[in-house]
Amino acid sequence: MSFAVLPALPPASQPLVDSNGFLTTPWREYLVQLDNRMRRSMAGVGPAPVTVATLPSASSLGAGATAFVTNANATTFNSIVAGGGSNTVPVVSDGTNWRIG
């Protein structure tokens, strides 16, 4: 993982907002640059998606563990995930089962 190098801050004399309550251009540009750099540095972070069959048991990882599966047969929130489909969905362990969520 790479780390974002922060862009230079606008000068301290530059107001954050204008008389209408909007960000001034230097601050808006700073925040856009910061957002872009953070997105690039976070690209690829997180576990790779897996199939339902290759998920570890929900109980071994405990409640709250998360993963992505690529072959769920449904997309119904909070239902127990099963393989055999073509849906890529996030799943969450409830401590017993993996649930779509």
Q: What is the pLDDT of residues 9-28, one digit of tens each?
A: 899 999 999 999 999 999 99
What pLDDT score was predicted for residue 42? 64
- Residues 66, 55: Cα–Cα separation, whole Å: 10
38 lies in the same domain as 74: no
Per DSSP, helices labelled H in 1-101 are 25-42, 58-61
96 lies in the same domain as 60: yes
32 lies in the same domain as 57: no
Indicate whether 2 pLDDT > 50: no
| pLDDT tens digit sequence for 37-92 | 777 766 655 677 899 999 999 998 888 888 889 999 999 999 999 999 999 999 99
58 lies in the same domain as 34: no
Nearest to 4 by CA among 41, 29, 42, 32: 41
Query: 100 and 77 in contact (C-beta within 8 Å)?
Result: yes
Q: What is the pTM of this model?
A: 0.56
Q: How many CB atoms are closer than 10 A to CB 10?
A: 16
8 lies in the same domain as 40: yes
Give how many domains the chain has, as a whole number.
2
- Residues 77, 73: Cα–Cα separation, whole Å: 12
